[in-house]
Structure formats: C-alpha cells, structure tokens
Amino acid sequence: MTCLEKVSRAKSRLMLEHPYFGTIASALRLQHSDSVESFLSDGVQLQYNEAYFEEASLEEVEFALANGAMHTVLGHRSRAGEREGRLWQLATDYTINAMLVRNGLQLPERANYQQRFEGMYAEEVYALLQSERNDDLWADEEREEKEPHDTANESTEKTSGSQHAGEREREDTPAPADDMEEYYEQLFQKLKRQGELPRDLKFVVPHYFSHRIDWRELLFRHIASYAKSTYAFMPPNMKYLYRGIYLPSLSSDLLRIVIAVDTSGSIDEKLLALFLAEVTSIMQNYPNYEIDLISADAKVQQHRTFLPSEPLSYELKGGGGTNFRPVFEYVERHISHPTLLLYFTDGQGSFPETEPGYDVIWVMPASGTVPFGEVISLQEG
C-alpha cells in the first residue's frame, strides 16, 4: 500500500468510525516534507514524512490525521494569550491526544500522552506543566524533545511528529478562515443533534459547550440519534471547492418516528401551540422524514403520516380525559416497526401496564414520574 493509498484509506476509516475527526481531517492540507521525522500539525496543515507513513500502521496514520484535525479546531492563538508558546503547544497536544485515546484511537509510539491529563483542559495542563518545570518530569520532557535533533547541521524545524505531534506551531501560520470555522460549527451542531460527538471533545473545544443546554437541545439530541447521518463526497460540499478543499456534504437518512400530541381538556391552547411548534421544528430540521402524527385524549382522535414538504395543517380533536393506553395500542396495531414514540403531554393520565418494545420520550411542562421511557421537561435550561 502506497503512502497516499494509506492516507486515503485512513480518512475513509475515520469517516466511518469517527465521523467528527474524519470530516475535519478531510479538509486538512497535507504536505509531504523531509524536514519532519514523522508528522507535524501547525493548526492549518499536516506535514508528514512519506517514509514514516509508509512504515506506520493504518491505525497510526488515522491517529496522525485525527491529531492534525483537532489541532485545526482547538484555537491555538485565541486561547494562548500570554502563555509560553512551546509549553502551550505541548499542553494542547497532551489534551488532544488524551481525548483521541479516550475515543479508541491507537496511540503512536513516543506520542505526547499521559493518562493523568485525561479530562483536563489545555489551560489546566499548561498550568500543571508550568508548575513542574523544575521537577524531574519536566527535565525528562526537555531531554526527549532535544534528543531527536541534537546534530549540528540539523534544521531546527526537523521534528518527530510522533513524539511531538502538532507540538510546534509556526509563527506565520494564519488563523483558520471564517468560512471553515462556520463549517466546523455546522458539523458540531449536526453531530451534537445526532449524539455522535467524540468523548471529551469539550476539553478540546470548550467554547462549543459554554452555552446553557435547554430542553430543546435535549429533545433534538434524542431525536437525532434516530436519523442516521451520511457523509457523501458526491456531490461534494460546493461551498469550499473554490479553495481547493474537497469536503463531504452533510445529509441525513430517513427520520422515521411517531409523535403523539395530548389534546385532552387539561392541555390549554398555549401549551398545545408549543407542542405543535416543536413538531413543526422537527420537520424543518430534517429534510427527509416520515412522521406518524397522532392526536389523542382518552382515545385516538386522528392519525396522519407526514412526508417532506407537507404542511402541518389539520384539525386537532379532543378535549376529554387523558388515557395514554389507546395510543400505545394503536401504534402496536397500525404502525409497523416503530423505533421511537415522542409523546407531548402534561403527564396526567393512565399509563400502560407494560413497556413497549420501542423507545418512548415524554415531553412535559414539568418533570414527572413515568413508568418507562425518558422525560424531557420544558422547564429544563
């Protein structure tokens, strides 16, 4: 397998097994360089030694690409402040590599990794390393860095990327373009809704997680897990082709769920309007869906199946008491292979005695007790 074939295969495997890393890695600028011993990320491009990649395992090449991808989105300059450059780069590398290991990627030999840095922000790692500068640990780090390039004629840029993967960032490296930052943000939001973000990503890009999570985010995070994400290179993402960057377009496979809306007398017009607004939002956020919408009070009043481009317009009937059992009985008889029932209700009614064979999420005005399924409270956040 040639070097380029191995890189291409590593990207494909990342896309399948770690879509966040793989999608960003697909935008990395790759540059063959004999001045690095293995690989080196400067936050914009990944320099690699062809001989190293040819000898490295496919898993190690995957790790190199993922490392370069995460150095791209970490935000070195904006987060560095007045911190010492070399020490800051080392801290970011420890943080990134700890996160990659937590997600099951194979760590190359001599990579910057210590288990104690798992679950720590780069700023925390930096402070700890700074406090240990004069300790034996820091002396060991200094020796490891100097040993690979201790010859008189060797360029100061000749670096072992497997030892210091992404450690140095050249001073003239420009910050990522705004349009790429926009793409990364869109990717983050999409995978967050689908519940496919990497573990411990918040320690690498904390600004994505700084806002308060409200109930709508929780709701969409659950729903998104039932819409399988696809990453297609045909057609490519046209927005970035002019820059010579061939990114996959983000799309979703069919979202197929059942939504039940409580139309009993205890649901006032304001709450009912909120329920229907969320149903509309679900339809707007997923371009390909099949939603079975059921309205019910003490019995099923209406059932309609909605497909893309169909407006949410029909007369809601109800106003009686609340009994959840008829909806579950109806789903069992009339809807084949349900995977998720999303029930908008105030939670005041009679529940089925047995749990169904599909997932159930109850969306309620306030937290309540249910015999099965999960509750999302409209008061959260």
Residues 12 and 127 in one domain: yes
Ranges assigned E (strand) in the chain: 29-32, 39-41, 45-48, 229-236, 248-252, 255-262, 289-296, 300-306, 340-344, 359-364, 374-377
Which pLDDT score is estimated for 365? 87
Q: How far is residue 33 from each of residues 51, 53, 57, 168, measured CA to CA in Å?
A: 10, 11, 19, 15
Q: Is residue 169 part of a domain?
A: no
pLDDT digits (tens, 9 = 90+) for 194-238: 888 999 998 898 877 765 456 777 777 777 777 654 445 545 555
Q: Is residue 265 part of a domain?
A: yes
Instruction: Select from 149, 180, 198 the last residue of a domain.
Output: 149
Instruction: Select from 106, 128, 149 the last residue of a domain.
Output: 149
Rg (CA), the chain: 26
Q: Is residue 243 part of a domain?
A: no
Q: Is residue 184 part of a domain?
A: no
- Distance separating alpha carbons of residues 251 and 353, to the nearest angstrom: 39
Q: Which residues, listed in sequence order, are joined to residue 361 by a DSSP beta bridge?
A: 342, 374
- Distance separating alpha carbons of residues 113 and 144, to the nearest angstrom: 13
Residues 11 and 144 in one domain: yes
Other CB atoms within 10 A of residue 242 CB:
8
Which pLDDT score is estimated for 288? 78
Which pLDDT score is estimated for 237? 54
Q: Is residue 348 part of a domain?
A: yes
Residues 264 and 143 in one domain: no
Which pLDDT score is estimated for 166? 37
Please state whether the predicted TM-score (pTM) of the whole model is above 0.85: no
CATH number of the domain enclosing 292: 3.40.50.410
Q: Token digits for 220?
A: 């969409």
Q: Is residue 154 part of a domain?
A: no
Q: Is residue 196 part of a domain?
A: no
How many domains are there within the chain? 2
Short-list 304, 290, 219, CA closest to 254:
290
What 3-state class would DSSP assign to 301? strand
Domain that holds residue 360: 254-377
Q: Is residue 131 part of a domain?
A: yes
Residues 9 and 139 in one domain: yes
Q: Token digits for 208?
A: 């994505």
208: alpha, beta or left? (left if phi > 0; alpha if psi -120 to 50): alpha
Instruction: Select from 108, 127, 149 the last residue of a domain.
Output: 149
Instruction: Flag residues of the chain having pLDDT under 50.
Output: 135, 137-138, 142-176, 212, 229-231, 234, 381
Residues 290, 296, 300, 302, CA torsion sign:
negative
